[in-house]
Amino acid sequence: MPWLNPLLFVYAFLTASIGTAGYLGPMITGTGKASLISMVAGFLSAGLILAGVQISKKNTLAGYGLCGLVCIGLIARFAGPFFTEGALYPAGIMVIISAVSLIGLAVGHSLNTYRS
């Protein structure tokens, strides 16, 4: 699954970037209050994804399982605002990239299972 790790690196980068934008965006535009929890959650999620990639080098199921749990958690967190309020940013983007990553993890797991 050489394609899966780069996908997860991009996912981690986007997660941290959107969390940082949640913190810096209101300060730059002057609208609202900066959300420190957005930045902390973004970097924590990205850290867990990167930890999962590292763990997957020794234990594929545990490492990618951790990444899958992060995807499911972020989908659960952002699905409500995305589907009820139609908020494309940041909720919609997070739901979409989390779903793409989760699908990638499922496909990678299936390919790995059938090759074994």
Residue 39 DSSP label: H
d(CA 85, CA 92): 10
Q: Which two tokens stand for residue 36?
A: 């420190």
- pLDDT at position 112 is 81
pLDDT for residue 106 = 95
Cβ(22)–Cβ(90) under 8 Å?
yes
> In order along the chain (116 residues), what is the average pLDDT of each group of 10 residues?
92 96 84 88 98 96 97 97 91 96 95 74
Rounded CA separation 3/66 (Å): 18
Q: Which two tokens stand for residue 62?
A: 């545990």
How far, in Å, CA of 41 to CA of 56, rounded? Answer: 22
What pLDDT, on a 0 to 100 scale, did the predictor assign at position 113?
73
The first and second tokens of residue 55, run together, are 């763990």
pLDDT at site 35? 87
Phi, psi of 33 (to 5 degrees): -110, 140
Evaluated on CA atoms 46, 14, 8, 110, the torsion sign reads positive
What local confidence, expressed as pLDDT, does residue 5 receive? 95
